[in-house]
Amino acid sequence: MSTDDDCLFCKIVARDIPATVVHESERALAFRDISPQAPTHVLVIPKAHFQDAPALASADPVALAEVVSVGAAVAETEGLDAFRLVFNTGAEAGQSVFHTHAHLLGGRKLEWPPG
């Protein structure tokens, strides 16, 4: 499994930095966002380090599918009938940690278009 010693999310996977983990699978980890933008805001990441969703899809499509499946499982556990699962790719799209992650947002009406 590839990791990046300077990556915040790799440090969370390694349990070097604490996080409120809500779900874990073989290839993915889900934890609460420290700056929630909705009543439910969970980050779902692959345990292996990939810069963004396209890189993950190209290198390990099974892990990408697992990230999405874990997001759906967390939504169900959280009692969400409707939710948003968002991947930001690149700084101009709002990606601030360059380790693939999906934002699971729910618990309130989500407007469109977003930000």
Residue 97, amino acid:
V
Please report the domains of the chain, with CATH numbers, ordered by start residue: 8-106 (3.30.428.10)
For residue 113, what pLDDT is reported? 87
User: Which of the following is catalytic: 49, 99, 101, 103?
Assistant: 101
For residue 81, what pLDDT is reported? 95
Pick from 67, 72, 84, 79: nearest CA to 9: 67
User: Can 23 be counted among the known catalytic residues?
Assistant: no
For residue 75, what pLDDT is reported? 98
Q: Render each residue's pLDDT in the chain as its tens digit; 115 residues.
A: 788 889 999 999 999 999 999 999 999 999 999 999 999 999 999 999 999 999 999 999 999 999 999 999 999 999 999 999 999 999 999 999 999 999 999 999 999 988 6
Cα–Cα distance for residue pair 68/6, rounded to 1 Å: 25
For residue 115, what pLDDT is reported? 62
Cα–Cα distance for residue pair 11/45, rounded to 1 Å: 12
Cα–Cα distance for residue pair 59/34, rounded to 1 Å: 28
